[in-house]
């Protein structure tokens, strides 16, 4: 960044039009030592294909490495390199200004497992990266929590912070709410005999952690494949394995577990006629990504097709209608090419 914080007058210029951001990696057979991080934007409003724009950025990575993109925060994306279950280089990218720069590196060895989350401190007008390090050989004895405040490159450094509840992050992507708090799934140690998977909250401003018990009836360890999403500005749990309940008439119920509330079922009319099926293929294809600012439900796959396309499905609960946007993200290839879907991306005119 150009300073330790953004100018408030510029920060107000963040574009308010919200969009869907697709992020994936692609290896070029002509340059196998390079990996491209591909980003594609579609509008969240009607007729998304009319204004689809694809941008590409490239990083040099190890042959067996790839980049993971954080959920965008106020228009910025934090990329981190993954290699053999370790994270190495960090970069901040702004697609609006097409600028990218590396952040300060953090030390790790072959026994270190790291998880990273990206957030924004509205009080100090600062972006921060949270890094949780654990030891694969001795999990609970060696856990550290570090924060990097994004500012002048010459002044950036990682600093340790304290956490009263030892935990490791068990989800690549957390959820950042409008109140400046990060949420992610965590494996927590409450005492020498009590460990449990719960939801961890991290206040980006105060840098304080607070565990949130999982809802009644939810087993985050043994049953299901759980994620956190934003549903109408509420943080909810969704189960990618068991969260869809099919009806004989082609409708489907999507089950969600709001924090501190009982389970809810959302009815999707005519799902079978519009989405890819049958039911046992749902885990591979469409997953619930949350709601847009206008209240539409969004579904998308975890992988691109062998033809390189991705289909994003929108459901309007008021009109009970479905629409889809088909994006040609990559060229032909194998079926093991993953894609992330992030909602409510906005352009930010500030330089990185």
Q: What is the CATH number of the domain that holds 336?
A: 2.120.10.80
Does residue 352 or residue 229 have the better pLDDT? 229
Per residue in 315-325, pLDDT (tens digit) is 999 999 999 88
Report the number of distinct structural domains present in the chain.
1
Quick one: DSSP state of residue 51? G
Is 332 within a domain?
yes
> What would the two tokens of residue 66 be?
């790839």
The Cβ-side half-sphere exposure at 227, using a 13 Å CA radius, reads: 17
Which of 36-40, 67-71, 226-230, 289-293 is predicted least confidently?
A: 36-40
pLDDT band of residue 286 (cuts 50, 70, 90) is: confident
**Location of structure tokens 């953090």:** 106
What is the pTM assigned to this prediction?
Answer: 0.84
Is 259 within a domain?
yes
- For strands 19-28 and 86-94, give the pairing: unpaired
Per residue in 40-59, pLDDT (tens digit) is 888 877 654 444 444 444 44
Is 350 within a domain?
no
pLDDT band of residue 167 (cuts 50, 70, 90) is: very high
Q: What share of the chain is helix, strand, coil (3-state, %, to 5)?
A: 5, 50, 45
Is 333 within a domain?
yes
Per residue in 117-152, pLDDT (tens digit) is 999 998 998 999 999 988 877 778 789 999 999 987
Is 351 within a domain?
no
Phi, psi of 10 (to 5 degrees): -75, -35
Instruction: List the domain range (segments joined by +) for residue 80.
Output: 8-345
Is 3 within a domain?
no
> How open is the CA angle 83-87-88, to the nearest 5 degrees?
95
Is 150 within a domain?
yes
**Location of structure tokens 């340790």:** 160
Is 263 within a domain?
yes
Does residue 301 or residue 28 have the better pLDDT? 301
Which of 86-95, 224-233, 287-296, 319-328 is predicted least confidently?
A: 86-95
């Amino acid at each position: 960044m150009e300073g330790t914080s953004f100018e408030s007058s510029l920060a107000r210029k963040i574009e308010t039009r919200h969009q869907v951001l697709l992020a994936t990696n692609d290896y070029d057979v002509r340059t196998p030592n390079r990996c491209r991080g591909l980003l594609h934007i579609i509008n969240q409003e009607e007729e998304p294909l009319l204004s689809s724009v694809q941008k590409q950025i490239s990083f040099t990575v190890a042959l067996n490495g790839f980049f993971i993109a954080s959920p965008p925060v106020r228009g910025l994306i934090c990329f981190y390199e993954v290699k053999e279950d370790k994270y190495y280089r960090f970069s901040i990218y702004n697609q609006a200004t097409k600028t990218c720069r590396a952040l300060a590196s953090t030390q790790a060895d072959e026994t270190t497992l790291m998880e990273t989350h990206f957030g924004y401190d509205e009080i100090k007008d600062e972006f921060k990266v949270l890094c949780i390090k654990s030891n694969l050989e001795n999990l609970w004895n060696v856990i550290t929590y570090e924060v990097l405040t994004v500012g002048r490159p010459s002044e950036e450094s990682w600093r340790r912070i304290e956490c009263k509840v030892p935990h490791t992050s068990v989800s690549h992507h957390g959820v950042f709410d409008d109140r400046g708090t990060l949420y992610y799934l965590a494996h927590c140690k409450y005492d020498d005999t009590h460990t449990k998977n719960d939801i961890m909250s991290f206040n980006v401003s105060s840098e304080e952690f607070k565990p949130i018990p999982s809802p009644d009836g939810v087993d985050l360890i043994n049953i299901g494949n759980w994620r956190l999403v934003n549903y109408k500005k509420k943080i909810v749990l969704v189960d990618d394995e068991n969260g869809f309940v099919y009806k004989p008439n082609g409708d489907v119920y999507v089950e969600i577990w709001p924090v501190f509330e009982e389970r809810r079922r959302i009815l999707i009319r005519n799902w079978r006629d519009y989405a890819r099926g049958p039911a046992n293929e749902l885990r591979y294809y469409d997953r619930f990504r949350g709601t847009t600012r206008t209240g539409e439900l969004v579904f998308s796959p975890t992988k691109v097709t062998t033809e390189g396309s991705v289909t994003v499905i929108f459901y309007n609960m008021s009109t009970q209608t479905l629409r889809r946007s088909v994006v040609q993200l990559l060229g032909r290839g194998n079926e093991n090419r993953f894609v992330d879907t992030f909602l409510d991306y906005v352009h930010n005119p500030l330089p990185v």
